[in-house]
Each structure stands twice: as C-alpha cells, then as structure tokens.
Structure 1
C-alpha cells in the first residue's frame, strides 16, 4: 500500500464570519502529484498556508508522516519534511546565489551557522550546492547577489533552495508565474524529476491547464473554501459541473 505522507482532516480557518477553508479532508500519498485548482478566491492559497503553517487553523488537523503538526510553526514543519518554495524567497538577499543555497544545505545537515566560516572548509557543501545550481541552470550566476536576480531566476532559486532542503512533501504555488516561455520548462522539468521519486509527494497550485495536464496524477477542486471535486485529471476535467462552475470555459479546449 502506498504510504500517506500528508493528511488534512476537516481543516478549517475562519476570518471573522468568513470561512476561507471549510472542513477540507484530503490525504496525499508518496509518488503522487496533486494539482489544487479552482476559481480566484476559492481558498487554494489559504489551504496551502494552513498546511505549511503560515496561518493557524480554526479547526481540524494536519498530519505529516503520521504525526500531528497542527500546532507547530513553519520552521518546525520544515524540519520535519514539509517544504514550500516561497518560504525561502530572498532568504538572504544580500548574499550570493551560492551562499544562499549552501546555507540551506548546511541547515539540513544540522551544522548550524558555522557556514559563515571560510568556504574552503565546506567543500562538500559547495559541491552539493553546485550540483543543484547546475540542475536549475543558475551555476553561471553563483556569485550574483540574490537581490540582483531577475524574477525568473529568483523562481529558479526558490526551487533550488527547496531541493536543497530535501523535504518529503514539496509544495509549489504557481511555480512558473511571471516566468518567460524559455524559463518555465526548467522548473517544470525539475518538478517532473521530483515527482518521479516515489518516496515524495508534490502539491501544486496552478492555473495553467497544460501544466496540470502534463504533471498531475490527481486534481482536487476547491470552491468557496470547500472540497468540490477530487479524482483523476481526466475525470475531474470532464465533469460538467466543474467546467462550468469552477474551471471556466478554458477547459473546453482540453
């Protein structure tokens, strides 16, 4: 039986009288990429925020690797194997691309802030960082300050930092947003590589249907904060109710 890595049970958050996420229960298994879709304001990003710990739940639970993490903060969830790309954006904007990634790898190795010592004493960390930078096509910019990167290269670095953390659960919130046609395939290829590792699971919030169609094993649809559909991509996309109410006319072309 495929292992469940992440689960939400009746996960709910209220802002005053507004229920932004309404008792969503889902389990996410190893080796599966789940696309989370729905109209603007459906609760997709809020659901992500609840899972990753950016906002506290009003009710319900989040379970990671069989342990309840509902009351844990972002950092502790990250240490336990939950990784969300944007958490790491501009971690140290005044350090270089290589230094940022090396810090993340050092953190994962639990060697603390000794990373700020001479780089020569951290050859193994530098080599590991360079391997990842090669994968995201940022090796030639290793000495560039993060604050000077283009938007597209910042998105690549987000993914590099996430890979450096080596989480069990990868969370991507519109990873190619704002990227050029030439840049986006790099990120999508990396997500496909991560998906191929059957010991991990990937959650993806995405609006681009071609991306969903090429990567997703499963689609869940949120509407008004509630779970409206959950199933294989072809089945969910073919649903007349989903097309009309949740996905819009864009699905007519699929």
Structure 2
C-alpha cells in the first residue's frame, strides 16, 4: 500500500473570513508538490493546518488513511510530518552538531540517562555527523547555530528534519531572506531529497523559477480555494491561474512577468 497524506474538505475560518475553504488534495511519495498562489491565498495557513499549528474549523487530515486531525504538532512530527518554517527553528546557543544530535536522539527514542552521558553515545554522534556532511555543514559542526549565516541556518533546519526521519518534508519558502549565493545550495539539497522516492515533499514558494526547477506537481490556492492542480506546464498555462495568480485577463499575453512564469 502506498503511503499517502490527504486533506478532505479542509477549512478554517477566522471570524467571518474563510482562509482555507474545503481544500481536498492527496499527496504521494516520489512527488514534490509546490503550493502557490497570490499573497493571502491561504498557502501558509494550509501548511499550518497540515502540520498542526492550526486546528481546522472543518475537514480532516489523514496520513495513510489514519485521521490525524486531533493530533498536536509534536505528535504529528512523531507520526512522520517534518516541517521547516519561514523563520529558522533552532537551538541558537547550542553547536551545530548538538542541534542535530538532539534530533537524532529524539528519533531514536533515547532519553536522558545520568549514568550514561550522551558523549558516550558514539552511534548518535556518528549519525548526526553523517547528516551534517550531507547538508555540507560538517566543517561547521562545532560552531554555535546562532553565528551561522541565514542560508546555513536553513540548511541546519533541513538537517534537523532529516534526523527525525519524516515521511513528509514540508518547506515553507525555504529560500526566503537568502542571498543569491545561498539559494542554489538549499535548492540542491531539496533536489537531493527528491531522489528518495519514499518521501512526500511539499513546498510553498513565491519564486516561480524555484517552483519550475523543483516541482513535479503544482496546486494553486486563490482566496482559500483550490483552483488548479496538475503538472507544472499545464497549471502555468491554464487561464484561471494566469488570471488569479498573475493578474492577466483571459486571452491577454505578457512578454515579461515578474513572478517568473513564462507566458
């Protein structure tokens, strides 16, 4: 049986405003799905509903057919959801290695033992170091996370997700705030994660060149509703997306679009 992540009629209301409106979608391994739409479309809110930062007003979220809607964000993490945020979520005063080692320890179910200091757990340290090498942070394992550049902090956050061994990787604008030099490193890291076809990858990203380079599938939200879902070329070319996302009237053409779509 193929592992799936699914939302059914997922909805959330803030007062009289419906931020996500009956969104139904199924995600499967081996596929990177980009979630796009104009500002205020409900992309990050949809992410927050899936990962447990928000509780829906209606609808359900299922992992492999099991309803996880009642679960808290930490319990969803244990169930296999990994989430990277727009703002890095690290232990700033701990070393790079200690950050990842704690995540490895959590994934292994190893609890604090005053009779056996963590330094004696060479297996945990070796696993942490191997992950740091994968994200090209091995040379910086001893420095405090707080002194890393923004790009390296994002790489460290990905390392934490990898250490938790999730079945679903969720990236919310992973290139936000990065310099031009830092962006390719993170994109290459996500591209390498894609090679593991047992994982589901979800990506919220405003930069359409990033979406086009990574996505196997695009879903488009507009005013909280799912308005398009399909292969990147098909979705980008659809009139409803050009109108809703790009502000182009049906039948009109533009030689240059700032978002990066080639029309």
Range of TM-score over shorter length:
over 0.9
Question: 1:191 & 1:116 partners in 2: Cα distance?
Answer: 39
Aligned length, in residue pairs: 253
Question: 1:180 & 1:172 partners in 2: Cα distance?
Answer: 18
Residue aligned with 2:11, SS: strand
> Which segment is superposed worse, 244-253 or 175-184?
244-253
Match of 1:112 in 2: 111
> Which segment is superposed worse, 167-176 or 121-130?
121-130
C-alpha displacement at 1:120, in angstroms? 3.2
- CA distances 1:20-74 after superposition (whole Å, capped 9, x unpaired): 0000000001111100000000000000000000011100000012210001000
- CA distances 1:141-174 after superposition (whole Å, capped 9, x unpaired): 1111122222121111111111111100110001
C-alpha displacement at 1:234, in angstroms? 0.4
Taking the TM superposition and a 5 Å limit, the aligned residue runs for 1:240-251 are 240-248=239-247, 249=257, 250=259
Question: 1:244 & 1:145 partners in 2: Cα distance?
Answer: 46
Match of 1:85 in 2: 84
Distance change (3 Å), C-alpha of 1:117 and 1:86:
farther
* Alpha-carbon contact 2:34-2:215 (below 8 Å) kept: yes
* Alpha-carbon contact 1:115-1:122 (below 8 Å) kept: no
Question: 1:83 & 1:56 partners in 2: Cα distance?
Answer: 17
Match of 1:253 in 2: 262
Match of 1:165 in 2: 164
Distance change (3 Å), C-alpha of 1:96 and 1:115:
farther
Distance change (3 Å), C-alpha of 1:226 and 1:115:
farther
C-alpha displacement at 1:186, in angstroms? 1.8
Aligned-residue RMSD, C-alpha: 2.0
Length-normalised TM-score, structure 1: 0.94
C-alpha displacement at 1:244, in angstroms? 2.4
Unmatched tracts of structure 2, length 5 or more: 248-256
Question: 2:115 & 2:85 partners in 1: Cα distance?
Answer: 24
C-alpha displacement at 1:118, in angstroms? 3.4
Unmatched tracts of structure 1, length 5 or more: none
* Alpha-carbon contact 2:7-2:60 (below 8 Å) kept: yes
Q: Which has the larger radius of gyration?
A: 2
More helix by percentage: 1
